[in-house]
Amino acid sequence: MKERRSVVDNALRPVRALYVAAVRPIQEAYNALPASVRRWTMPAVLLLGFLLSLAAPSLINLYWQQVLIYVGINIILAASLNLINGYMGEFSVGHAGFMAVGAYVASIMTVWVFPRMGLKEAVPYLFPLALTIGGLAAGLTGLVVAIPSFRTRGDYLAIVTLAWNMIVKSVLENLDVVGGPRGFMGMQKLTNLPWVFVWVVVTIYLLRNLIYSNLGRGILSIREDEIASSLVSVDTRRVKIVAFVISSFFAGVAGGLFAHIIQFIDPRTFSILKSTDVLVMVYLGGIGSLGGSILGASIYTILMELLRPLQVWRWVVGPLLLVLLMIFRPRGIMGLREWGFLIPKEERPAFVDALREQVRQKREPAAVPAGASE
């Protein structure tokens, strides 16, 4: 086991060295900047990103815009699944089920509900609302998995999520109002790069906020040791509900974005194959890491595009990659590590060190026994 890991690590060493060599100077130069400047870096980068996404049509061709849109949607899917599989350590294999709910509900909103309310002209502006409603519907169905998870875990919970995926697909196939197996269409092409950019930023921001809260730590503690967690007062039921509902909310949003770019959805789109794709992204990028999900989704989506000439053989790559990952690098590229800029300031080691000094200043010297002080 160990030996095999080190083979991979050795192979990756040059890549890492290159990365460090390229990034370290930038990092150092950046850290040398005054704090008042650094404060504005993030907003500036985000603004720049947004402007670029607006300008995309005149910068890159339609095909690559499309690819970037899929990258964005997949980042949302991977990050939200990571909340369950990476941060909470449960094993969901039915993410596409939630995605389907969001896709169908959001599509119904833009195709039927809004136009019938006489808001046909306003549909493009109501798109975020449609996505949110789709997300909420998906989040609600997240309870279907959250509630069994109180008692069932591990393999069995994996089967529950899988059964859920299959049930959604089967219900959609039998639901003639939304086209049954023929699928549902009529959506406008509302998903574009700026929207996707905004939703990715919102998703990552909100997930980050959750993870670095005591609720989020509750999620982590379930991964580490569920019983110990309930024995230090964590209400594991509440935590599981929060995690599953939020995870499926974002899966639903991703589904809505997806439906409004391909403009046609059918039950087969949301099969277990789709769920497996998301799994590959999560485990490739790294469990318990938002940066990992961004990385995993980007690499996998672009890789699959580059492999398009291979035709059917392309579909052999994903599963093979998944197996190799599990054997050689089960925690993925970034496993349990995070990019610094995704960590809130007050959670960084430097802040914690400062806090310690502050606490020590305040403390009046107490009678600490020999054993309690170093």
Partner 1 sequence: MQGFIQQVLNALQVGSVYALIALGYTMVYGIIRLINFAHGDIFMVSTYVAFFVGTALASYLLGLSGLLLFVLTLIASMFATSLLAVLIERFAYKPLRYAPRVSAVITALGVGLFLENFTLATIGPDPRFLPRFFTVQTYTVGGVAFSNIQMIIIVVSALVMLVLDTVVRRTMVGMAMRAVSWDKFTAPLMGVPVDRIISITFAIGASIAAVGGCLYGMVYTIDPYMGIRIGWWAFISAVVGGIGNIRGAMLGGYILGFVEIFTPVILPASSYRDFVAFSILLMLLIFRPYGILGRPVAQKV
Partner 2 sequence: MPLLQIRGLTHYFGGLRAVHNFNLDLEPGELVGIIGPNGAGKTTVFNLITGVYRPTAGEILFNGHSLVGKRPDQIIAMGIARTFQTIRLFKDLSVLDNVRIAHFAQTSYGVMDALFRLPRYRREEAEIRERAMELLDLMGLADQANWVASSLPYGLQRRLEIARALATEPRLLLLDEPAAGMNPGEITELMDLIQWIRRQFNLTIILIEHQMRVVMGICERIKVMDFGETIAEGTPTEVQNNPRVIEAYLGEEAIV
Point out which residues bind partner 2 (CB under 8 A).
Answer: 206, 209-210, 213-218, 220-221, 223-225, 227-237, 242, 246, 288, 336, 346, 349, 352-353, 355-356, 359-360, 363, 366, 368-374
**Interface region with partner 1, contact rule CB under 8 A, candidates 71-79, 182-190, 193-201, 319-327:** 319-327
Exposed e or buried b for every residue in 310-324, given b needs 16+ CB within 10 A? eeeeeeeebeebbee
Q: Which is nearer to partner 2, 319 or 344 (CB)?
A: 344
Q: Does 283 engage in binding with partner 1 (CB under 8 A)?
A: yes
Residue 206 interacts with, from partner 2, partner 1, none (CB under 5-8 Å by kind): partner 2
**Residue of 129, 198, 206, 322 interacting with partner 1 (CB under 8 A):** 322
- Measure the CA–CA gap between 135 and 101, rounded to whole angstroms: 8
Beta strands in the chain (DSSP E): 184-185, 264-265
From candidates 47, 316, 354, 355, binder to partner 1 by CB under 8 A? 316
Q: Which does 160 bind (CB under 5 to 8 A by kind): partner 2, partner 1, none?
A: partner 1
Q: Where are the alpha helices (DSSP H) in 147-192?
A: 155-174
Burial group, residue 301, by CB count within 10 angstroms (0-12, 13-18, 19+): buried
Residues forming beta bridges with residue 184, ordered by sequence position: 265
Q: Distance between CA 116 and CA 107 in Å, rounded?
A: 13
In terms of Cα–Cα distance, which of 259, 340, 250 is closest to 297? 250
Instruction: Provide the minimum distance between the beta carbon of 169 and partner 1 in the complex, in angstroms, as a whole number.
Output: 8
Cβ–Cβ under 8 Å, residues 299 and 285: yes
Judged by CB under 8 A, does residue 65 bind partner 1? Answer: no
Q: Which does 368 bind (CB under 5 to 8 A by kind): partner 2, partner 1, none?
A: partner 2
Sequence-distant contacts of 67-71: CB under 8 A, at least 24 apart: 67/301, 67/302, 67/305, 68/193, 68/196, 69/191, 69/192, 69/193, 69/196, 69/257, 69/261, 70/261, 70/301, 71/297, 71/298, 71/301, 71/302
Cα–Cα distances in angstroms (integers) from residue 321 to residues 280, 328, 335, in the given order: 8, 10, 16
Task: Give least dist CB 43 to partner 1, A.
Answer: 38
Smallest distance, partner 2 to C-beta of residue 348, A: 9
Provide, rounded to whole angstroms, the least separation between the CB of residue 171 and partner 2: 28
Site string for partner 1, 154-173 (x = CB under 8 A): xxx-xxx--xx-xx-xxx-x
Residue 342 amino acid letter: L
Backbone angles phi, psi at 61, to 5 degrees: -75, 170
Q: Which is nearer to partner 1, 65 or 230 (CB)?
A: 230
229 binds, among partner 2, partner 1, none (CB under 5 to 8 A by kind): partner 2
Q: Which is nearer to partner 1, 85 or 269 (CB)?
A: 85
Provide the b/e sequence for 229-246 (b: ≥16 CB within 10 Å).
bbeeebebeebbbbbbbb
Q: How far is the CB of 147 from partner 1 (least distance, A)?
A: 8
Residues 223-262 that bind partner 1 (CB under 8 A): 227
CB of 250 vs partner 2, minimal distance in Å: 11
CB of 163 to partner 1, least distance (A): 4
The yes or no reply on residue 148 touching partner 1 (CB under 8 A) is yes
What is the Cα 208 distance to its own chain's centre? 10
What the block records as the tokens of 185 is 């269409």
Return the number of the residue (17 or 347) whose C-beta is nearest partner 2.
Answer: 347
The nearest distance, CB 3 to partner 2, in angstroms, is 22
Strands 264-265 and 184-185: antiparallel
Cβ 257 to partner 2, closest distance in Å? 20
Q: Which residues bind partner 1 (CB under 8 A)?
A: 1, 4, 85, 89, 91, 93, 147-148, 151-152, 154-156, 158-160, 163-164, 166-167, 169-171, 173-174, 181, 227, 272-273, 276, 279, 283, 312-313, 315-316, 318-323, 326-327, 330
